[in-house]
Structure 1
Amino acid sequence: MKPADDHIPLVRPAQDPQPQASAPAAGSRRSAPRLFALDGLRLVAALCVLSFHWTASTDSRETYGGKVPDQFMPGISSVSSYGWLGVQLFFIISGFVICMSCWGRRPGDFFVSRVIRIYPGYWAAVLLTTSVLVFVPHLGRAGAREGLDIKTVLANLTMFQGQLGMRKIDGVYWTLVAELQFYLLFAIVVTMGLTYRRVVAFCGIWAAASLFAPETNIPLLKTFAMPQEAPYFIAGVAMFLMYRFGPNLLLWGIVGFTWVVALSRIHQVKVIYDQAAGRPLSWAVIALVITLCYVVIIAVALGFFDRIQWKWLTVAGALTYPLYLIHQEAGWTLIHWLRTLGLGTGAALGLSLVAALFTAWLIHRLVERPVSGLMKRHLNRSLATMRTASDQPAGK
């Protein structure tokens, strides 16, 4: 799930900082208000994933006394079984917002913005989930506590637990690895200097790599090409170019191509979620939801939501990342506890959602904001020292 920047000015700049290498003047756009719609869509994506884990996933059976959700709330489960597609929406938004937030920034600024945005809230979520699993083990999933030791916790705090040979404390962390890989790839273009031409080239090269990677025997290429996730990130980047410079046939072609690739690879991920939901999912419904994800972000790019100026949506966007990080294992534990108190399933789910949103707000206000500010000051100071030292002649 994407930890997009909550405080960047999401506006159409009146002028490209590098016009000589960008789109023609006819494609540029005038400034527009902050894209509050993206904040709201991010929260919608997180709530969709939450609904899947709480009311459709077979992994929640211990939460409901050994029953899978489809057995006692089939009506809700039949819809929420597709909630995992919120991740695909989030990846498209990530491509859009990361490209936007990087435009006109130096590589060091990009590095700092990502570190201070993803780590403070993540650290809080890891420690919270670990505390829940350790101190109330009789209410959580038995499998979630296996091998939970200090080495596992420390590895998870790096966000590279998989690369360090450790398991994830919470299953939702897998999307963060995809995000980090996207950041690493996009950092190449940021280092070269963002221009319209280079970003389009990046989209084309990555799309080609994601197509051919599955047929190769090169593990590193498969890892970074991300065949399953790449279409969504690339589409988001191209949609941002539409937003900034206006749509044209080239950008429509990139978006359309990634959409076709995404639909053609549904069967690969469908197998996984058929098992996770405990029911066969419809290819047509998945394709429809993915198409709607594309359509809604295209609508944002074309300015259809510019009139939405609801300030509370910035709060919704701020809650998204911590809510996503804490909702699964800790959420299941809370629902289980409330049900042991005699609450019905509906009441337990409602109270758990309120508690999760409030906890996400606390993480944002008490951890993310102060820690991010502190880290930003010190990292910027470190970069300034590095730049000063790098400008000095060798030997001095």
Structure 2
Amino acid sequence: MTVRPVPDAPSAEPLRPERTGRPRESRLRALDGLRLVAALMVALYHYGGRGGEVTTAWGSSPEKQFPTLHEYFAYGCLGVQVFFVISGFVICMSGWGRPLKSFFASRASRLLPAYWAAVLLVSAVFALPMVAYEALSPSDTLVNLTMLQQPLGVDRVLGVCWTLWAEVRFYALFALCVVLPGASRRRVILFCAGWTLAAAITQAAHQPLLDIVFMPEYAPFFVGGVGLYLVHRDRRDVYGWGIVAVSFLVGQHYAVRSLWNAADPDAFAHRTSLGIVLVVAFGFVAVAAIALGWFNWANWRWLTVAGALTYPFYLVHEHLGWVVIHALHIGLGLPSVATFALTITSMLMLAWLLNRYVEKPLTPRLRAALAKVR
């Protein structure tokens, strides 16, 4: 099964002060930690919870490498849904009280520097003679720098970049419907209700264009995150809780429908419908607990570091992880468990380098340059 995995899930930015004088909120560090948990879930799936290309890296099916754990690793692909819930929460938080230009500058500067670096790095590694993976053509690689390879039908350099295309469409909808006219509780509620209804109609209409715009399979998770931000602002908000409840009910339906493979005798691992529902519920409950302040005590600085590593780790871990697995397991003969642990560690170290030498210097410069554009 091909994974559908940041997600970019944006960083847990503090809320900008509103014009009404509402005090600035402190950073939700627990949300940063949850982002890394979601990224690690996806990594578990890519390294040990699926067949396909990763079999080449291990030299045999991950099912043989991890006879018991591979069944649990198969649920890791649901880390994407957790990412989308977090993204809905964070985008609503970061877009509230912010003008459109500032919102655009913030999102573009957050996504692009690490993404460009990851595309170039993976392309360069795959072009090496000793790496046994097919590299894309120079033309396709250049298209990938635009983030528009998915709608243009161009092969992807990064396997996970399909989620960025979903994120970009969410940003566009939120910007047009909420940020541009000015965020307010009423407008956000109408946005959530309108998108939920439009996504349901899209599912019934079977129109490809509507499907691209309204993303019925992923809309419940973004909308659920937005609803949880309303709850974060006021835990007694009945409309916010209603949005969250409907989003969970619809979202688990789509997750089960796309990932429950009990009828497929050739499936790599057989997820149960209950297991899928429980993982989806974990995503909603975890973000809800953070929104309600139950994890305010988890205010450790290292969680901010974890959040900073999540996006670059998410971008590079899949394909470069396969290269590392092949080198350690096939090349050096390390045991599977040691290879798995060292691969995760090496990808986190690479993520730190990308954050330190790409994101930190380039993100503020790109944000400032875009903010100056009239």
- Which of 164, 180, 183 matches 2:168? 180
Q: Does 1:347 align with 2:338?
A: yes
Question: Which of 344-353 and 284-293 deviates more?
Answer: 344-353
Q: Does 1:207 align with 2:196?
A: yes
In the TM superposition, 1:282-321 aligns within 5 A as 282-321=272-311
Question: Which of 263-272 and 99-108 deviates more?
Answer: 263-272
- Which of 264, 278, 295 matches 2:253? 264
Question: Which of 333-342 and 230-239 deviates more?
Answer: 333-342
Partner of 1:391: none
Question: Which of 198-207 and 244-253 deviates more?
Answer: 244-253
TM-score (norm 2): 0.92
Deviation at residue 300 of structure 1 after TM alignment: 1.0
Partner of 1:328: 318
> Hey, what's the Cα distance between the residues in 2 that align with 1:34 and 1:378?
25
What is the identity, as a one-letter code, of the residue corresponding to 1:343? L
Unaligned runs of 5+ in 2: 1-5
TM-score (norm 1): 0.87
Deviation at residue 275 of structure 1 after TM alignment: 9.1
CA deviation map 1:78-133 (0-9, x unaligned): 11110111111110000000110111110000000011000000001111111111
Deviation at residue 217 of structure 1 after TM alignment: 4.1
> Hey, what's the Cα distance between the residues in 1 that align with 2:110 and 2:34?
18
Partner of 1:23: none
Deviation at residue 137 of structure 1 after TM alignment: 5.0
Q: Does 1:378 align with 2:369?
A: yes
> Hey, what's the Cα distance between the residues in 1 that align with 2:372 and 2:356?
24
Q: How many residues align?
A: 365
- Which of 103, 106, 115 matches 2:108? 115
When residues 30 and 187 of structure 1 are mapped into structure 2, their CA distance, relative to the original with a 3 A threshold, is: closer
When residues 250 and 132 of structure 1 are mapped into structure 2, their CA distance, relative to the original with a 3 A threshold, is: same
> Hey, what's the Cα distance between the residues in 1 that align with 2:108 and 2:131?
35
Unaligned runs of 5+ in 1: 20-28, 387-396
When residues 275 and 303 of structure 1 are mapped into structure 2, their CA distance, relative to the original with a 3 A threshold, is: farther
When residues 336 and 275 of structure 1 are mapped into structure 2, their CA distance, relative to the original with a 3 A threshold, is: farther
Identity %: 41
Contact preservation (8 Å) 1:93, 1:297: yes
What is the identity, as a one-letter code, of the residue corresponding to 2:140? T
What is the identity, as a one-letter code, of the residue corresponding to 1:9? P
What is the Cα-based RMSD across aligned positions, in Å? 2.1
In the TM superposition, 1:1-396 aligns within 5 A as 1-6=6-11, 8-10=13-15, 17=19, 33-59=26-52, 60-65=54-59, 67-136=60-129, 138-140=131-133, 144-145=134-135, 148-188=136-176, 189-270=178-259, 278-339=268-329, 340-382=331-373, 386=374
CA deviation map 1:293-318 (0-9, x unaligned): 11111111111011111011000000
What is the identity, as a one-letter code, of the residue corresponding to 1:324? Y
> Hey, what's the Cα distance between the residues in 2 that align with 1:379 and 1:219?
33
CA deviation map 1:40-72 (0-9, x unaligned): 00000000000110011102110111x211123
Deviation at residue 138 of structure 1 after TM alignment: 3.9
Deviation at residue 170 of structure 1 after TM alignment: 2.2
